[in-house]
Amino acid sequence: MRFRIAVLAGDGVGPEVTAEAVKVMEAVGRRFGHAFDVSTAKVGGAAIDEFGTPLPDETMALCQETDAVLFGAVGGPKWDDPKAKARPEDGILAIRKGLGVFANLRPVKVYAALINSSPIKPKVLEGVDMIVVRELTGGLYFSRPKRRWTTARGRRGVDTLRYTEQEIERILRVGFDLARGRRKHLTSVDKANVMESSRLWREVAVEVSADYPDVELEHMLADNAAMQLIRNPAHFDVVVADNTFGDILSDEASVLSGSMGMLPSASVAGLKTASKRGRRSVSLYEPIHGTAPDIAGKGIANPIGAILSVAMLLRHSLQLVEEATAVEESVEGVLAEGYRTADIASDGGDLVGTSRMGDVIAGRV
Ligand code: NAD
């Protein structure tokens, strides 16, 4: 089959890790007989330098006409001036908005070969394999009113947490759909003990669960979830949370794996390729890390987060499950063989750079 993929490498280590991800995608093409037509475009600081804006219209147009977008990372000290009109990070926010993606998926897996790279005790990490689903477009970060003002008795500030039942339902369905294809266990995170929006969240979760009798639904208060993620992370299969709790818990969960460089993510508008109105939706795939200015240009960044983002792209946007599994197994195999980039080399092993890591993973595919 033939697919169109937009690659927006961005800044810093973005281009270094996406080059390896594309290498692996091409290896998948050769092994399984697919053609990936890759188009590249500028985003972030690189786009500001060339076009004066972090997301040029042509970049957005390209994203909209492809089957999926592979993204690197944007930002860096060069564009950090707080007074600057254009900021690289606005590029990623604008793409998410333009594509209408509302769910952020972050799988967290602890590889047996890397169990000693994590700050958590190896015994606690055995069998950790979860996916955190974060609502991306609503809740506390976006609801209005949101403002600061001064009164006679001092300064005030307000943020608002508002969700509609439709917003809650669609993110929960992403969680249930994912759980159905995994270990069939969904943890829905809220603060229903103190928050009205959370009580609505829980109510909707129970209603939606009627459509998924094969999935076990568990409610967990956010504070308890933060504790259990460290205490007993293997308990979790799929975790679904609102924008704020999801933001915090997904970062917490990422620590389990030992390095930022290892983890992929996807931002999707549901798990079906076509939306209810029959319109095609385009999803965005990117490693969770940023541009790592401290190591950019040295050829030592870990490309695995970007490579595993390709696996997610194959699985969720192209429905190429066998191909996605082949990429994931290659990563696992290469780690088991002892190949290590610097960030995961605390236990020794065969130290390799970005490009060599890409080569050995592509070779194994
Ligand atoms: P970062 O993720 O870039 O780096 C944090 C630490 O992790 C650094 O020590 C870095 O060297 C290390 N690291 C990150 N990716 C790695 C990899 N692939 N291999 C090995 N080590 C890796 O976060 P930061 O330093 O807070 O941010 C740097 C820049 O990236 C900022 O401009 C920030 O705004 C931007 N950023 C962009 C995104 C995005 O594009 N989605 C996300 C986060 C941060």
Same domain, 211 and 144: yes
Give yes or no: residues 134 and 213 share one domain.
yes
* Residue 50 CB coordination number (10 Å): 10
Q: Does residue 289 have its Cβ closer than 6 Å to ligand 1? A: yes
Asked if residue 18 has its Cβ within 6 Å of ligand 1, the reply is no
- Residue 118 and residue 255 in contact, taking contact as beta carbons nearer than 8 Å: yes
Residue 28 covered by a domain: yes
Q: What is the widest separation between alpha-carbon atoms in the chain? A: 71
Residue tagged active-site, from 247, 285, 339, 343: 247
For ligand 1, atom 23, which residue shows the shortest CA distance?
A: 290
Told to judge if 223 belongs to the known catalytic residues of this protein, a careful annotator would answer yes
Ligand 1 touching residue 91 (CB < 6 A): no
122 with 96, same domain?
no
pLDDT digits (tens, 9 = 90+) for 26-59: 999 999 999 999 999 999 999 999 999 999 999 9
Same-domain status, 242 and 300: no
Q: Against a cut of 0.75, is the pTM above it?
A: yes
The dihedral formed by the CA atoms of 285, 254, 16 and 90, expressed in degrees to the nearest 10: 60
Would 111 be classed as within a structural domain?
no
CB proximity list for 201: less than 8 A, separation 6 or greater: 163, 168, 188, 190, 192, 242
Domain limit, last residue, from 241, 257, 273? 257
Are residues 49 and 136 both part of a single domain? no
Distance (Å) from CA 12 to ligand 1 centroid: 9
In a domain, 277, yes or no: no
Is residue 112, in this structure, part of any structural domain at all?
Answer: no
**291, 339, 340, 354: residue to mutate for ligand 1 pocket, most atoms within 8 A of CB:** 291
Whether residue 245 is found in the same domain as residue 363: no
Mark whether 49 is an active-site residue. no
**CB of 354 closer than 6 angstroms to any ligand 1 atom:** no
Is the CB–ligand 1 distance for residue 290 below 6 Å?
yes
Domain that holds residue 294: 1-101+289-365
Residue written as tokens 């750079």? 353
The answer as to whether 210 is a domain residue is yes
Q: 191 catalytic, yes or no?
A: yes
Confirm whether 359 is a catalytic residue: no
Rounded to 5 degrees, what angle do the CA atoms 72, 138, 167 make?
110
Q: Are residues 15 and 84 in the same domain?
A: yes
**CB of 135 closer than 8 Å to CB of 188:** no
CB atoms near residue 228 (< 10 Å): 15
Answer yes or no: is the C-beta of 271 below 6 A from any ligand 1 atom. no
Q: Is 11 in the pocket of ligand 1 (CB under 6 A)?
A: no
Q: What is the 3-state secondary structure (H, E, C) of 132-169?
A: EEEECCCHHHCCCCCEEEEECCEEEEECCCCCCHHHHH
Q: How far apart are CA 104 and CA 173, in angstroms?
A: 13
> What is the distance in A from the centroid of ligand 1 to the CA of 323?
28
Q: How far is CA 324 from CA 182, 252, 300, 308, in A?
A: 15, 26, 25, 9
Q: Whose CA is nearest to atom 26 of ligand 1?
A: 290
Q: Do residues 76 and 152 share a domain?
A: no
Last residue of a domain, one of 257, 273, 306: 257
Based on the residue annotation, tell me whether 350 is a catalytic residue of this protein.
Answer: no
Could you tell me if 53 and 162 lie in one domain?
no
Task: Kindly give the distance from the C-alpha atom of residue 238 to the centroid of ligand 1, in angstroms, as a whole number.
Answer: 25
Distance 149 CA to ligand 1 centre (A): 34
Residue 274 lies inside a defined structural domain of this protein: no
In tens digits, the chain (365 residues) has pLDDT values of 999 999 999 999 999 999 999 999 999 999 999 999 999 999 999 999 999 999 999 999 999 999 999 999 999 999 998 888 899 999 998 999 899 999 999 999 998 888 888 889 999 999 999 999 999 999 999 999 999 999 999 999 999 999 999 999 999 999 999 999 999 999 999 999 999 999 999 999 999 999 999 999 999 999 999 999 999 999 999 999 999 999 999 989 988 988 889 999 999 998 864 444 456 789 999 999 999 999 999 999 999 999 999 999 999 999 999 999 999 999 999 999 999 999 999 888 899 999 999 999 999 99
Q: How far is the CA of 358 from the centre of ligand 1 (A)?
A: 19
6, part of any domain: yes
Structural domain contains residue 160:
yes
Q: Say whether both 342 and 214 belong to one domain.
A: no
Residue type at position 150: T
CA 43, CA 50: separation in Å to the nearest integer? 10
User: Which atom of ligand 1 is nearest to 72's Cα?
Assistant: 40
CATH of the domain at 14: 3.40.718.10
Domain count, the chain: 2
Query: Which residue has its alpha carbon closest to ligand 1 atom 25?
Result: 292
Query: Domain check: are 247 and 306 in the same one?
Result: no
Q: Are residues 145 and 221 in the same domain?
A: yes
